[in-house]
Amino acid sequence: MNAQRRAFMRTCAGLAAGASPLAAGAIAQSFAPQIAGPAAWRSRFPAFAAADAGTIYLDSAATTHRAQAVIDAIVRYYQEDNANPARVHARARRAGECLAAARQAIGEFLNASDPLEVIFTRGTTEAVNLAAATWGAANLGAGDEIVLTISEHNSNLMPWTAAARRAGAVVRIVDVDDEGHLRVDDVARHLSRRTKLVAFSHVSNVLGVVNPAADLVRVAHDTGAHVFIDGAQAAPHVRVDVRALDCDFYAFSGHKMAGPMGSGVLWARRALLDAMPPYHVGSNMAHEVELDRAVFEHGALKFQAGTPDVAQPVGLAAAARLLMSSRDVFASHDDALVRRGLRRLRGVGGLTLIGSGEPRDRVPVFTFTLSGWKAADVAAALDARGIAVRAGDMAALSLLKRFGTTEAVRASAYIYNTLDELDRFVDALDDLSSTSRVAGSRRTASPPAA
Ligand SMILES: Cc1ncc(COP(=O)(O)O)c(C=O)c1O
């Protein structure tokens, strides 16, 4: 790779000549005006104008709808700027600048100190795998310990247990309490001087509880362990500040925060990235490549071999700008959804909520079982009434077992859901619950209401 190409790679990294460190608020303000309230937010999502607009969509923890701004940003990129990023011609330069701007925006979204700490991935799963395969390979050895929690999603469980197996390391699992809270003292009890890594979700995809991430990081660091945070369910709802959290790794998925499918991020401290071996090798992540040697790029660029995906980061950045533009509206609507959901669900006969019924430090994710009903049958009965929820083991079977079941129903709301939609969802559950009580242990869905 020649010097010109190297300089261009730095432009793609958001380090164009004279680029200042990430300026708080600058990008959010310059691209996305404040969106007034929940109704205005809903109008930003074209799914609600589509043929099945009447569907009550309560499956956003699985994936959200896409914002029009995200779709527009991707279309505009492909129409106006698409090229393989390079310095060689105007379009190629614009493509590189689009990628650089996206990296800068995500850096700001996370309050990172350096855009070169932002690796674009296909989602949280790839981000965890990348860290487990690279940092894990270089840092885990026989007898070392990894601390995970019972509430981890498979995607933040399997890559670490696999890395532990490869290294001969030991995995220790921390339980949650009966309300689904991860207690700092419980985590501390599992730490030892052999602990190399503590990995936990900022928000569980089942419990909806916001974990005390900064406190957990502090106790882990006190024993010299590194910390990986799975932010898949947090980044869509909670302000993420990696510097305030003081964590070592943070991962999230774009498709769970109104961004594109197949987009996501692994953020890691720059010093860690520079010390880690690469994940994939190939073009764009190395220069002066000969048969027996190569000089690797720095920071995030070392982990992005091959032609980069530009459209997904561009769309993800558009989603991040939207979220950054209206934090307060977002937080207060989330709070209203949590309170209404918990209050109404408490009144449904035979419903057992998994996790805390306390609205504080919670996102609008409600996971439950309904007495006399299989989870899949509840989902099917709701689907027949035009209400979309998820059912199954939520990729967190151990956690469900901890709460005495192997399957559950999950309703998850987002900024575009109304309180009235939550009411209609709970009314439908009330209806199912009384059907089950009348029919005894009824296991098939009742017909949809007319
Ligand atoms: C807590 C949590 N972690 C990780 C993942 C995996 O995310 P993705 O499928 O976007 O890679 C999910 C997806 O549901 C999740 O909820």
Residue 7, pLDDT score = 56
Q: Judge if the beta carbon of residue 155 lies within 6 A of ligand 1.
A: yes
Which residues partner with 408 through β-bridges? Answer: 392
Residue with token string 């300089």? 7
Query: Best mutation site among 205, 211, 397, 398 for ligand 1, i.e. most ligand atoms within 8 A of its Cβ?
Result: 205
CA of 200 to the centre of ligand 1 (A): 12
Nearest atom in ligand 1 to the alpha carbon of residue 204 is 1
List, as one string, the DSSP characters of 245-306.
HT-SEEEEEGGGTTS-TT-EEEEE-HHHHHHSPPSS-STTSEEEEETTEEEEPPGGGGG--S
- The number of angstroms, rounded, from the C-alpha of 286 to the middle of its chain's C-alpha atoms is 29
Q: Write the residue with the smallest CA distance to atom 15 of ligand 1.
A: 232
Which residues partner with 253 through β-bridges? Answer: 264
Take residue 420 and report the two structure tokens written for it. 């009235």
- The number of angstroms, rounded, from the C-alpha of 49 to the middle of its chain's C-alpha atoms is 26
Cβ distance 1 to 287 under 8 Å?
Answer: yes
Nearest atom in ligand 1 to the alpha carbon of residue 122 is 11
Cβ distance 296 to 278 under 8 Å?
Answer: yes
| Spatial CB neighbours of 191, under 8 Å, sequence gap ≥ 6 | 147, 198, 219, 220, 223, 225
Nearest atom in ligand 1 to the alpha carbon of residue 123 is 11
Residue 2, pLDDT score = 53
Closest residue by Cα to residue 108 from 46, 51, 25: 25
Nearest atom in ligand 1 to the alpha carbon of residue 63 is 14
Residue 52, pLDDT score = 74
Residue 311, pLDDT score = 98
pTM check: above 0.85: yes
CA of 76 to the centre of ligand 1 (A): 28
Length of the chain: 450
State the Cα–Cα distance between residues 251 and 228, nearest whole angstrom. 8
DSSP structure class, residue 50: S
Cβ distance 147 to 190 under 8 Å?
Answer: yes
**End-to-end alpha carbon distance in the chain:** 67
DSSP structure class, residue 208: -
Cβ distance 99 to 250 under 8 Å?
Answer: no
Cβ distance 362 to 208 under 8 Å?
Answer: yes
CA of 447 to the centre of ligand 1 (A): 33
CA of 155 to the centre of ligand 1 (A): 6
Q: Write the residue with the smallest CA distance to atom 7 of ligand 1.
A: 124
State the Cα–Cα distance between residues 352 and 437, nearest whole angstrom. 15
In the chain, what are the domains? Answer: 90-324 (3.40.640.10), 327-437 (3.90.1150.10)
Q: Is the sign of the CA dihedral 113, 115, 121, 123 positive or negative? A: positive
Take residue 400 and report the two structure tokens written for it. 């469900």
Residue with token string 């197996």? 165
State the Cα–Cα distance between residues 164 and 87, nearest whole angstrom. 42
State the Cα–Cα distance between residues 253 and 101, nearest whole angstrom. 18
Nearest atom in ligand 1 to the alpha carbon of residue 395 is 14
Take residue 352 and report the two structure tokens written for it. 């057992």
Residue 10, pLDDT score = 52
Q: Is the sign of the CA dihedral 431, 432, 436, 439 positive or negative? A: positive
Query: Best mutation site among 153, 211, 316 for ligand 1, i.e. most ligand atoms within 8 A of its Cβ?
Result: 153
Give exposure, 115-144, as e/b (b: 16+ Cβ within 10 Å). bbbbbbbbbbbbbbbbbbbbbbeebbeeeb
Nearest atom in ligand 1 to the alpha carbon of residue 62 is 14
What stretch of H or E contains 332? helix 327-345
DSSP structure class, residue 145: E
| Spatial CB neighbours of 165, under 8 Å, sequence gap ≥ 6 | none
419-438 vs 375-384: helix crossing angle, rounded to 10: 120
Residue with token string 């930003």? 44
DSSP helix/strand/coil, 239? coil
User: Tens place of pLDDT for every residue, the chain, 450 residues?
Assistant: 455 555 555 554 544 333 333 433 333 334 455 566 677 888 889 998 877 778 999 999 999 999 999 999 999 999 999 999 999 999 999 999 999 999 999 999 999 999 999 999 999 999 999 999 999 999 999 999 999 999 999 999 999 999 999 999 999 999 999 999 999 999 999 999 999 999 999 999 999 999 999 999 999 999 999 999 999 999 999 999 999 999 999 999 999 999 999 999 999 999 999 999 999 999 999 999 999 999 999 999 999 999 999 999 999 999 999 999 988 889 999 999 999 999 999 999 999 999 999 999 999 999 999 999 999 999 999 999 999 999 999 999 999 999 999 999 999 999 999 999 999 999 999 999 998 644 444 444 443 333
Strand 249-253 relative to strand 226-230, pairing: parallel
State the Cα–Cα distance between residues 91 and 214, nearest whole angstrom. 43
Q: Name the residue type at position 247.
A: C
DSSP structure class, residue 210: B
| Spatial CB neighbours of 401, under 8 Å, sequence gap ≥ 6 | none
Give exposure, 294-315, as e/b (b: 16+ Cβ within 10 Å). eebbebbbbbbbeebbbbbbbb
Q: Judge if the beta carbon of residue 201 lies within 6 A of ligand 1.
A: yes
Q: Judge if the beta carbon of residue 125 lies within 6 A of ligand 1.
A: yes
State the Cα–Cα distance between residues 3 and 22, nearest whole angstrom. 25
Count of Cβ atoms closer than 10 Å to residue 239 Cβ: 15
